[in-house]
A and B are shown apart, each in its own frame.
With several copies, the nearest count.
Chain A
């Protein structure tokens, strides 16, 4: 039992799986000697050597293509992209190849790979270091997209992603990397894929989020508890596919729903979930679904990033909008 933060949990997951599976490699920029700019791969070079801990040239398109080539040979390739804003050069390879090889060869060639990247803002990083890439990949059939919100899920979902026989995009909550710690058993146990996690039960309103925003959403829920508002807090975690069954079940119970995301509002996971509710859960809704999200602007540079990223007060405002239209009896 160790007490770890998210970045340590990721490091533990990578190490334990590399020990378990000699067929697994990690690759990316500055992940070897340097241990990764966020230290996610620290120690791996010393333990597993240059062959399995691959410092690549500076080319994300190449990194994703290389991961594809490796994975087609049965090598479990786990690539790190330094920041999710630098994943755009990988889109062609991931969408046109990683997501498709199994389907176009009817199962002959597969791509068991993971591409990890820190995602989202809030750490006063430079330009292009604070983007939210969920939709870029979640829209693509053939892929899975995960975004963990705490150390235990970072550990368990990353293991599940690595062992999954299909390509997985793993978006890590940058600003929560070192925000808090959790007790973690480094037992190599994976968590289930394609599943949302109910973090707190409640019957008044369903709050949905994932990744870094889970933290602020929980704080908002705490604040409302004090007013006697019982929030059901769900970590969506899997953005492709989305576990709509769990979400619909919760909304059937509460009749109210607020979805919190950092990504720009339009075309984000919040919209996909709200659409699912409009099509399959409409009759259980007492009030309109509210999306609390980043604005439809470009992620601002550091000085304005807090204007863009939803904070607890914005989340509470969103919840109140729902409660005003459908007060709790």
Chain B
């Protein structure tokens, strides 16, 4: 404890928050890269996942605009975070995602057509397929931040059973204002739980800019409230993001406990298809943000260092578009669920008190639209 000259003043604690970036917006490398990033295969895979996610995202918006999908939340510009998480996690790890982490969910085995089915309004979309890691993942939660403290219970169960799994719980910058987020941060270290909290700070919570969301200079420093390590990363830099997430996962697996990662990114799209960001957001800001797009910078790198040609690009983009088309077709082919299904997963066994109501629905035949 360092005694200061001032009246009875002693320093009892000090903290630092660091930022990590490995590939800048111009596609230039900063400092040394981790091994995975020195592997061309890996780089191209990360690139392809981001591009495919963007193609599917674009398709989803198109389907909504043409009345074939309900309100949809786009991940445009935020593909790197989900991609990094999806590639960093092990199969047995458990993802408790936010709604812009599609890339991570796809990598974990959620069929993209299920994601469309969700936004169409069908609960079956959250019954992720057996035989994939997503089968033991959580669907995202619409009530903001409420899923974050679930990670405490899930990670506690892992610890209780001495398993070597890690929980990754993600949310947005706005979510970090809610008690649910804070209560999880405050308690995670009490049991030194294997949790990696990842915040996608996309600078906006619908119309609320990050600066007015909280008095904290960084979101990363909120970890200090719970005694966790917290760090910032360039969330549009898929290499740096994957690097810090992998490091945090390894630490958690080694019993070092929870960490908080603030991934700095930007929401290039309206909040959802029901929103019009021009009401509250400066077009100039969005233009500027496009120059930091996670896909563009990696392509620049691939071209300069990786021999990535225009032909490669055209071919891959075509493949992505085909994939998006196929996803849309698969989605549009899905048969409606029978109306009585609203009773059939309510309880393990429907209480007899509810049988009459189910009967009524069967007779009415429902009115699926």
Chain B residues within 8 Å of A314, by CB: 364
Q: Judging by beta carbons under 8 Å apart, are A59 and B122 in contact?
A: no
Residues of B122-147 contacting chain A, CB below 8 A: 122-124, 126-128, 135, 138-139, 141-147
Q: Judging by beta carbons under 8 Å apart, are B71 and A62 in contact?
A: no
Q: Judging by beta carbons under 8 Å apart, are B122 and A307 in contact?
A: no
- Identify the stretch in B25-33, B231-239, B285-293, B344-352 within 8 Å (CB) of chain A at 4 or more residues: B344-352
CB distance from A264 to the nearest CB of B (A): 10
28 A-B contacts (beta carbon < 8 Å): A29-B205, A29-B206, A29-B208, A32-B207, A35-B279, A61-B178, A62-B149, A62-B183, A62-B184, A65-B153, A69-B155, A69-B157, A73-B154, A89-B179, A97-B146, A102-B346, A106-B124, A106-B345, A126-B70, A127-B142, A141-B346, A297-B357, A298-B346, A300-B121, A301-B118, A303-B122, A304-B366, A307-B361
Chain A residues within 8 Å of B351, by CB: 194, 241
Q: Judging by beta carbons under 8 Å apart, are A58 and B178 in contact?
A: yes
- In this complex, how many residues of chain B approach chain A with their Cβ under 8 Å: the count is 77
Known contacts A295-B342, A303-B120, A304-B342: A243-B353 contact under CB 8 Å: yes
Chain A residues within 8 Å of B206, by CB: 29-30, 34, 37
Closest to A102 in B: B345
Q: Judging by beta carbons under 8 Å apart, are A103 and B353 in contact?
A: no
Chain A-chain B contacts (Cβ-Cβ < 8 Å), number? 243
A109 to B357, CA, bound (A): 24
Add 19 more A-B contacts to A29-B205, A307-B342 (CB < 8 A).
A30-B280, A33-B207, A57-B186, A57-B187, A58-B178, A62-B187, A65-B153, A70-B157, A85-B143, A93-B149, A105-B139, A106-B123, A126-B71, A297-B343, A297-B346, A301-B118, A301-B122, A303-B369, A306-B367
Chain B residues within 8 Å of A107, by CB: 127, 345
CB distance from A106 to the nearest CB of B (A): 4
Closest to B159 in A: A51
User: Sorted from nearest, which 5 A-B pairs have the closest CB atoms?
Assistant: A69-B153, A302-B121, A65-B149, A34-B207, A73-B157
Interface string of A64-104 (1 = CB under 8 A from B): 01111111111101000000011011001100110000111
CB distance from A107 to the nearest CB of B (A): 5
Chain A residues within 8 Å of B118, by CB: 301
Closest to A31 in B: B207
Chain B residues within 8 Å of A302, by CB: 70, 120-121
Chain B residues within 8 Å of A300, by CB: 121, 123, 342
A34 is contacted by which of B124, B142, B280, B368 (Cβ under 8 Å)?
A: B280
Check A139 for interface membership: any CB of B closer than 8 A: no
- Identify the stretch in B6-14, B44-52, B333-341 within 8 Å (CB) of chain A at 4 or more residues: B333-341
Known contacts A30-B206, A97-B150, A301-B121: A295-B343 contact under CB 8 Å: yes
Q: Judging by beta carbons under 8 Å apart, are B279 and A33 in contact?
A: yes
Closest to A130 in B: B121
Check A252 for interface membership: any CB of B closer than 8 A: no
A164 to B206, CA, bound (A): 32
Closest to A36 in B: B207
Q: Judging by beta carbons under 8 Å apart, are A59 and B121 in contact?
A: no
Check A308 for interface membership: any CB of B closer than 8 A: yes
A59 is contacted by which of B123, B141, B154, B177 (Cβ under 8 Å)?
A: B177
Chain A residues within 8 Å of B257, by CB: none
Check A281 for interface membership: any CB of B closer than 8 A: no
- In this complex, how many residues of chain A approach chain B with their Cβ under 8 Å: the count is 81
Chain B residues within 8 Å of A126, by CB: 70-71, 119, 121, 142
Check A108 for interface membership: any CB of B closer than 8 A: yes
Closest to A75 in B: B157
Q: Judging by beta carbons under 8 Å apart, are A296 and B336 in contact?
A: no
Known contacts A59-B179, A297-B346: A194-B352 contact under CB 8 Å: yes
A21 to B340, CA, bound (A): 35
Check A322 for interface membership: any CB of B closer than 8 A: no
Closest to B340 in A: A307
B177 is contacted by which of A57, A127, A304, A308 (Cβ under 8 Å)?
A: A57
CB distance from B8 to the nearest CB of A (A): 31
A307 to B142, CA, bound (A): 22
Interface string of A15-33 (1 = CB under 8 A from B): 0000000000100011011
Q: Judging by beta carbons under 8 Å apart, are A102 and B347 in contact?
A: yes
Tell which of B123, B145, B158, B336 has the most Cβ of chain A within 10 Å: B123
A68 to B155, CA, bound (A): 12
Chain B residues within 8 Å of A295, by CB: 342-343, 354, 357, 360-361
A73 to B158, CA, bound (A): 8
Chain A residues within 8 Å of B279, by CB: 33-35
CB distance from B185 to the nearest CB of A (A): 11
Check A244 for interface membership: any CB of B closer than 8 A: yes
Q: Judging by beta carbons under 8 Å apart, are A70 and B122 in contact?
A: no
Check B164 for interface membership: any CB of A closer than 8 A: no
Known contacts A295-B357, A304-B337: A105-B126 contact under CB 8 Å: yes
Closest to B177 in A: A57
CB distance from B271 to the nearest CB of A (A): 9
Check B274 for interface membership: any CB of A closer than 8 A: yes
Q: Judging by beta carbons under 8 Å apart, are B208 and A30 in contact?
A: yes
A54 is contacted by which of B156, B339, B368 (Cβ under 8 Å)?
A: B156
Known contacts A96-B143, A108-B126: A303-B368 contact under CB 8 Å: yes
